[in-house]
Amino acid sequence: MDKVRVIEIKKSVFAENEKDADELRKDLKDRGVFLLNLMSSPGSGKTTTLIRTINLLKDKLRIAVMEADIDSDVDAIKIKEATGIQSIQLHTGGMCHLDAEMTRQGLEGLDLTDVDLVVLENVGNLVCPAEFDTGSVCNAMILSVPEGDDKPLKYPLMFSVCDVVVINKTDVLPYFDFDLDKCQEYIHMRNPKARVIPVCAKTGEGIDAFAGWLLEEVNIWKQE
């Protein structure tokens, strides 16, 4: 297996995360780097969705990935092997989320020359990551069918901070009591503007819609 760079993230010393996130966003804007923060529960398919998306976009955008995890480096290796792009692993030392300063520590481990888009795969958790602005331009989340259509009722903040909700594992819809319309309705209760994109990362179905959304967001942001 390939080796990947592993960065041990230290706890932030800054109390004012929002201010720090705005500064990081500005720094990245000056450097022409779009940061996407991707969140979800454990096991919802973030890495597989990301691999499919990168392979659709890598001829159009220069992409790098930071994989945050409590432990292990399996995801960063998977991304590197499956896409060939720059991929590093961030170890959070048991911490359940990333804030702007921790994201900045991760970014320092990447070579950002000639990079248009950095995807931060946040820690698998529907609670804490939603509370901390990472400095990203957009927040995306993945909800997978087996988790249930009621998740927007139970984790309101996560759904309200995301610009797009990808509903993954649509191939197993026949085996679960998951009502796609009801789920969309719950998501829009939390966040009327959220885009909802059903996909199946395993087969690739729907990934073009997510990749298209992301490419458009990057292009609009570049022209701002």
Q: Is 220 in the site for a second copy (CB under 8 A)?
A: no
Examine residue 146 and tell whether it contacts a second copy (CB under 8 A).
yes
Of 56, 82, 128, 138, the residue at the interface with a second copy (CB under 8 A) is 128
| Torsion angles phi and psi, residue 197, rounded to 5 | -125, 110
- Beta-bridged to residue 14, according to DSSP, are none
Q: Which residue of 43, 182, 189, 216 would you call a contact of a second copy, by CB under 8 A?
A: 43
Q: Is residue 6 a contact residue for a second copy (CB under 8 A)?
A: no
172 binding a second copy? (CB under 8 A): yes
Distance CA(10)–CA(127), nearest Å, equals 20
Question: What span, in angstroms and rounded, lies between the C-alpha atoms of 124 and 36?
Answer: 15
Q: How far apart are CA 96 and CA 129, in angstroms?
A: 7
Rounded CA separation 99/135 (Å): 8
CB 91 within 8 A of CB 69: yes
Q: Which is nearer to a second copy, 99 or 116 (CB)?
A: 99
Per-residue tokens: 54: 């990168």
| Among the listed residues 52, 80, 104, 169, the single contact to a second copy using CB under 8 A | 169
Under rule CB under 8 A, residue 185 binds a second copy? no
State which residue, 33 or 126, has the beta carbon closest to a second copy: 126
Residue bearing tokens 């000639």: 114
Smallest separation (angstroms) from a second copy to the CB of 194? 17
**131 is a contact residue toward a second copy (CB under 8 A):** yes
Q: Are 191 and 155 in contact (CB under 8 A)?
A: no
Q: Which residues contact a second copy (rule: CB under 8 A)?
A: 41-44, 69-72, 74, 94, 96, 123-128, 131, 144-148, 150-151, 153-157, 169, 171-172, 175-176
